[in-house]
Chains A and B, each alone.
Chain A
Amino acid sequence: MRVLVVEDDPILLDGIKVGLALGGVTVDGVATCADARAALATSRFDAIVLDLMLPDGSGLDVLGEMRGRADATPVLLLTALDETADRILGLDSGADDYVGKPFDLDELAARVRAVARRHAGRAAPLMLAGAIALDPSTLSVTVAGEPVSLSRREFSVLAALMERPGMVRSKGEIEDRLYGWQEEVESNTVEVHIHNLRNKIGRTAIETVRGLGYRMRSAT
């Protein structure tokens, strides 16, 4: 899962980035509305954590622009203004959730997962594909009830594929999920992770679609 965090306080931004990354989320952080617009123009995110009071404007403006161009990426507002009226205004402007500062990091991570899950059209917190079950909140995967140990990257690749079983994910899309901007992307890493995943969860679970990418086999 890849999340954009827009927050102007450097320490809080750092905290959210590191904290969400601990939960297996790839995080990109920006501090201004302008940088947020640039990030949204160039990358796709599964969710956005958006601060309201930014140095060059209000996060609500960015949110309005997104919804204006039918960008349905889930947005979780983050703000120190936690009066009811502010919450209502934020939600009515198109936000999916609202967290007041100071917040609990685990709760923020859970809410991010929740808005991303709803956006992906899933109601159950567990992702299921055949005998494989993935729990994004505990970063655990089981195959036929047996726990499987995965690295963070392998988990992210599997999560990207399992979000929509049966749908093809391109290599580029998977890479986007794996790496933030600052990270160096190696050309064959996705293949390596898929190879390792197949060793751990079963040879037939992930299907290669020639020229397009990969998908989870929906039925066994």
Chain B
Amino acid sequence: MTSLKRRLFAILVAATGIIWLVAGAWIYVSSRSELEHVLDTRLQEAAKMVHSLVDGRNLPTANDATGPTLLLPEPSAYERQLSCQIWSLDGHLVARSTGAPAVQLADNVDGYSDRVVAGESWRVYAIEDPVKRVRVMVGDRIGLRQKLVNDLIIGLLAPALLMLPVLGALIWISLGRGLRPLRDMAEDLQQRDAEDMRPLDAGKLPTELRPLAKALNALFDKVEAARRHEREITAFAAHELRTPLAGLKTQTQIARAASDPAVRDHALSQILISVDRTTRLVRQLLALTKLEAESPVVRSASHKAADLLAEIVSTGPPAANIRVEIDPALAEVRLPGPREIWMLALRNVHENAIQHMPDGGVVAWRPTLGATGLMVIDQGPGIPDEELDLVTQRFYRGRNRSPSGTGLGLTIVAIAAQRLGVELELKNRTDRTGLQVAFIIARP
């Protein structure tokens, strides 16, 4: 059920109904046993009273033409309940009350018994007196007893049943009142615009709503942080894209305005370089956005490091005068996780190394110690120690920047490593200038 109010209402009404039913049943059972006890006692008392009034000496005999004497005046309604018979011990009906059947009500000797006489159930108390030579029987119609019990119960339950709709209405109204803070909160949230991330005032809310408000506030914080992050990235990206665009525009205007073919050719070649660089920047921005949007990966397949590196080297831009060495031992290093993320990470590290290489340099890929990962070692200028922690930030381009760098390469590498669950380690070489970038894979 989607409505909390209706749900609560149903629960409360059902619970109340069940309680009333149980109470009703209880009242029914206990009233009935109590009533039976009272009626039984009355039977006994009536029997004793009749017995004490009977004079044994002048009992009419079975041969009396008068027949049995009518003991009591004609009663009506409930009054007709009790029936009395007096039998002689030799089996003659001496006397009976009005409405009492002519058939013997009980055949037992003494005490209470239930019996069906002429299609009717009877409760009978019998006293046998050997001295007076009579048997006195007083009986109740059980049907009448039942009617008495039923009337009693109906008398008790009818007002309760009539009150049920009133109670339901009261419950409904109270629920509306009780749930008001929830509605107020919903209205407050409804009236907000998309930008409004102010926290809800948990202090003003009832205790039950506070966890909800706190959870909502935590969510607001997260959404706000994510949005701020996004805004910063967008601003940064816009900023980083504007400079190459300004370069493109300027060079284009020069190409149009220049009358000297040499100047025009130079401008056109600059435009080409700039378009390539801007393309790379956009590609990296898209790769970064995609990488950030992906959920953390489950380690599934694993890939041979040597295979991925061979592909990167063969498909990458040709690097004149730079030698790339791939240690054959890398064939044994397995890289767990999605292939495309590994390719992205390795390619960016590789391009970063190539970009910073002097002519004739060597970029070397090797397994890390213990072969739990892989690393690349270059002979470039390295990264100043104080910048090592900064170079993985977006668009950070340190002092030893390469002219074609975008400031995103190592950011992509760092995020990819995080997604892959491997440790990225950047450090300068100690034997000479150069950077060493290692991916350390924790053993499963």
Interface residues, chain A, with chain B CB atoms under 8 Å away: 9-12, 14-16, 18-19, 22, 53, 55-56, 80-81, 100-106, 108
Listed in ascending order, the chain B residues whose CB lies under 8 Å from chain A are 238-240, 242-251, 253-254, 257-258, 263, 266-267, 270, 273-274, 277, 397-399, 401, 403
**Chain B residues closer than 8 Å to A100, beta-carbon distance:** 242
29 pairs, A vs B, C-beta closer than 8 Å: A9-B247, A11-B244, A12-B243, A12-B246, A12-B247, A12-B250, A14-B247, A14-B266, A14-B270, A15-B251, A16-B250, A18-B251, A19-B250, A19-B253, A22-B254, A22-B257, A55-B399, A55-B401, A80-B239, A80-B240, A80-B243, A80-B246, A101-B246, A102-B245, A102-B246, A102-B250, A105-B249, A105-B253, A105-B257
**Contact among A55, A56, A105 with B250 in the assembled complex (CB-CB below 8 Å):** A105
- Contact yes or no, A18 B263, CB < 8 A: yes
Shortest A120–chain B CB gap in Å is: 26
Contacts of A103 in B (CB 8 A): 246, 249-250
Inter-chain CA distance A16–B251, complex, in Å, is 8
Instruction: Chain B residues near A22: list those with CB within 8 A.
Output: 254, 257-258, 263
List the 5 closest A-B pairs by CB distance, nearest first.
A15-B250, A12-B247, A102-B246, A101-B246, A80-B242
Option from A9, A18, A53 in Cβ contact (under 8 Å) with B266: A18
A80–B238 Cα distance when bound, in Å, is 8
Chain B residue nearest to A51 in the complex (CB): B243
Q: In this complex, what residue of B is CB-closest to A13?
A: B247
A residues within 8 A CB of B257?
A: 19, 22, 105
* Smallest CB separation, B343 vs chain A (Å): 29
* Cα-based distance from A165 to B263 in the complex (angstroms): 34
Known: A15-B251, A105-B253. 10 other contacts (CB 8 A): A9-B244, A11-B248, A15-B250, A18-B258, A18-B263, A22-B257, A55-B397, A101-B243, A101-B246, A104-B253
The reply to whether B254 and A19 form a contact with Cβ atoms under 8 Å apart is yes
Known contacts A12-B243, A55-B397, A80-B240; A102 and B248 CB within 8 A of each other: yes
B242 touches A15 (CB 8 A): no
**Docked-complex contact B245 and A14, CB < 8 angstroms:** no
Q: Are B245 and A18 in contact (CB under 8 A)?
A: no
Interface of B is mostly: helix
A56 to B400, CA, bound (A): 10
Closest chain A CB from B401 CB (angstroms): 6
Specify the chain B residue showing the minimal Cβ separation from A103: B246
Asked if A15 contacts B239 (CB within 8 A), the reply is no
CB contacts (< 8 Å) of B247 on chain A: these are 9, 11-12, 14-15
A11 touches B273 (CB 8 A): yes
Q: In angstroms, how far is the closest chain B Cβ from the Cβ of A69?
A: 26
User: Which residue of chain B has its CB nearest to the CB of A12?
Assistant: B247
Contacts known (A55-B397, A55-B401, A102-B248); A9 close to B253, Cβ less than 8 A: no
Q: Which of B248, B253, B257: most chain A Cβ within 10 A?
A: B253
Distance between B261 CB and nearest chain A CB, rounded to angstroms:
14
Enumerate chain A residues within 8 angstroms of B266, measured Cβ to Cβ: 14, 18
Are A14 and B251 CB-contacts (below 8 A) given A22-B258, A55-B397, A55-B399? yes
B254 → A minimal CB distance (Å): 5
Specify the chain B residue showing the minimal Cβ separation from A78.
B246
Closest B residue to A31 by CB, please name it.
B403
Give the residues in chain A near B254, CB-CB below 8 Å: 15, 18-19, 22, 105
Contact partners of A11 in chain B: CB under 8 A = 244, 247-248, 251, 270, 273-274, 277
How far is it, in angstroms, between the C-alpha of A16 and the C-alpha of B397 when the chains are bound?
A: 22
A5 to chain B, nearest CB (A): 11
Chain B hits for A101, CB < 8 A = 242-243, 245-246
Closest to A23 in B: B257
Looking at A18, A53, A106, the one whose CB has the most chain B CB atoms below 10 A away is A18
Q: Which residues of B contact A102 (CB under 8 A)?
A: 242, 245-246, 248-250
User: Distance (Å) between the CB of B325 and the closest chain A CB?
Assistant: 30
Write out the residue numbers on chain B whose beta carbons fall within 8 Å of the beta carbon of A12. Answer: 243-244, 246-247, 250
**Contacting residues, chain B, for A80 (C-beta < 8 A):** 238-240, 242-243, 246
**Chain A residue with minimal CB distance to B256?**
A105
Minimum Cβ distance to chain A for residue B277 (Å): 8
C-alpha spacing A101/B250, complex, angstroms: 10
**Contact flag A10-B403 (CB < 8 Å), given A15-B250, A15-B251, A18-B266:** yes
